[in-house]
Amino acid sequence: MKNKSKLIQLFIIVFAIILALPVYAKSPDVANDKDVQEILEQGWQLLSVMHKDKTSLDKGIAVYKSALEKYPQEKELLSWKVAEMTFKKADEELDKKKKENLYKETLSYSQKAIQLNPQSSGGHYWAGLAYVRIAELSGVISAIGQVNKAKKEFEKTININPDHRFAILSNAVLAAIYLGMPWPMNDNKKAEKYAEEAVKKDPNLTLASVNLGKSYLNLKKYDKAKDELNRCLSTKSPTYVWDAELYDWPGARKLLKEIENKK
């Protein structure tokens, strides 16, 4: 029961990574086909208003599934775009069984992308997040197995292209996983390594910054922890604004209070 509680804490931590969207006016994804690019822009606009209109997720899924039939040359890209939108819908679903089925559908479309292109950054990234969410809904033993699968997918995402936005996020997620897992599966040194890499690639990724500060704190590197957490709080243009305001900055302030008297 205690380990289950720890695993739930892990998913609360990881949840903050994927609630919001980067502040991009246009889709950050690029298609070779002009018509498909227009579909990506349409899908991105629908995704960007999900907090105001939940039906936009169903519309986006329908747009991408229709495009899958029409543009087979872009099937890999469109498969993981369906996965992305389905994942967002799953996060909004309240019914546990429906939620689980949507995460499984996310995984299925991610795996289709990977089958079409084993080097699919989007496929591996969304597969990793699907495994994390499925783990949240599983028993302890099953959850640990799902998290291990997730870690492998994030590692693959990083290895494919370390500079890709999904690779940078994968580093941040892995840091959160190693910080949040119960003993003896937690690993502060690995969390430090992944968080440092994410911060190096994107200094404005506040989730990575606060996790780096936390890993320093756990390793008793108090001065480095203070410096990083203060840097996090001074970030002027966070990559994920909502996450920074709702989770990361409050988290950084809380950690700073913990180490006020530590040397």
Residue pLDDT, tens place only, 121-139: 999 999 999 999 998 887 6
To the nearest whole percent, how much of the chain has pLDDT over 70?
Answer: 87
Write out pLDDT tens, residues 174-209.
999 898 877 677 899 999 999 999 999 999 999 999
φ, ψ for residue 252 (rounded to 5)? -65, -40
Quote the CA–CA distance of 91 and 78 in Å, as a whole number.
Answer: 20
* Average pLDDT of the segment spanning 39-58: 84
Among 44-48, 93-97, 160-164, the range with the most confident prediction by mean pLDDT is: 160-164
- Give every CB contact of residue 77 below 8 A, 6+ residues apart in sequence: 29, 31, 36, 113, 122
Q: Which of 243, 227, 244 is nearest to 235 (CA)?
A: 244
Write out pLDDT tens, residues 154-166.
999 999 999 999 9
Positions of CATH 1.25.40.10 in the chain: 2-186
CATH code given to domain 2-186: 1.25.40.10
- Please classify residue 138 by burial: count the beta carbons closer than 10 Å to its beta carbon, then call 0-12 exposed, 13-18 middle and 19+ buried: middle
For residue 151, give the amino acid letter: K
- The answer to whether residue 20 scores a pLDDT higher than 70 is no
What fold is seen in the domain 190-263? 1.25.40
| pLDDT score, position 209 | 96
Quote the CA–CA distance of 18 and 173 in Å, as a whole number.
Answer: 10
